[in-house]
Chains A and B, each alone.
Chain A
Amino acid sequence: MSVTKLAYYPGCPSDATAIDQDMSTKAVFEKLGVELVEVEDWNCCGAAEVEEPELVYALNARNLAIAEKEGLDIVTPCSICYYNLERSNIALKADDKLRAKVKGIDSSLDYNGKIKAKHVLDVFVNDIGLEELSSKMSKKLNLKVAPYYGCYIGRPPETAFDDPDDPDSMDKLIELMGGEIVPFSQMKTFCCGGPLMMTRSDIAFEMARKILDTAKSAGADCIALACPLCGMMLDGKQADIEKALHVEIDMPVVYITQLLGLALGIDAKELGLNKNAVDTKEILGKVV
Chain B
Amino acid sequence: MIKTWELDPNFKEEIMKERGGEHLTACFQCSTCTIGCPITEYVPSYNPRKIIQMSLLGMRKEVLSNPDLWVCLICQTCTARCPQDVRISDLLSAIRRIADKEAEAGNIKIDSSRPIFDKAFQHQLEKYGRLYDIGLAKEYYPKREGSFFKGMMAMMNDYKDFGMRMFKKGKMGPKAMFPEKVKDRAVMKKIFEEMGEK
| Contact across chains for B80 and A240 when beta carbons are under 8 A apart | no
> B interface, by DSSP: helix, strand, loop or mixed?
helix
A207 nearest CB across to chain B (Å): 7
> A interface, by DSSP: helix, strand, loop or mixed?
loop
Given known A48-B74, A54-B195, A203-B43, contact A41–B172 (CB-CB < 8 A): no
Q: How far is the CA of A54 from the CA of B74 in the complex (A)?
A: 17
| Segment at the interface with B among A10-18, A25-33, A136-144 | A10-18
Given known A55-B195, A198-B140, contact A105–B190 (CB-CB < 8 A): yes
| Segment at the interface with A among B6-14, B57-65, B174-182 | B174-182
B108-135 residues with Cβ-Cβ distance < 8 A to A are 112-114, 117-118, 121-122, 125, 129-131, 133
Give the nearest-CB partner of A57 in chain B.
Answer: B195
| Contact across chains for A52 and B97 when beta carbons are under 8 A apart | yes
| Contact across chains for A43 and B188 when beta carbons are under 8 A apart | yes
- Among A55, A189, A240, the residue within 8 A (CB) of B196 is A55
Interface size class of B (residues with CB under 8 A): 35 or more
| Contact across chains for A277 and B165 when beta carbons are under 8 A apart | yes
A44 sits at the interface (CB 8 A):
yes
A6 sits at the interface (CB 8 A):
no
| Contact across chains for B129 and A44 when beta carbons are under 8 A apart | yes
Give the nearest-CB partner of B90 in chain A.
Answer: A53
A4 sits at the interface (CB 8 A):
no
- Besides the contacts A104-B194, A191-B75, A275-B171, what 17 more A-B pairs have beta carbons closer than 8 Å? A15-B175, A16-B172, A17-B166, A43-B125, A43-B188, A44-B131, A51-B96, A51-B97, A51-B118, A53-B90, A58-B191, A109-B187, A156-B87, A164-B77, A191-B77, A240-B161, A275-B170
Nearest 9 pairs of A and B residues by beta carbon? A155-B76, A49-B121, A191-B75, A12-B131, A55-B195, A43-B129, A164-B80, A155-B80, A53-B19
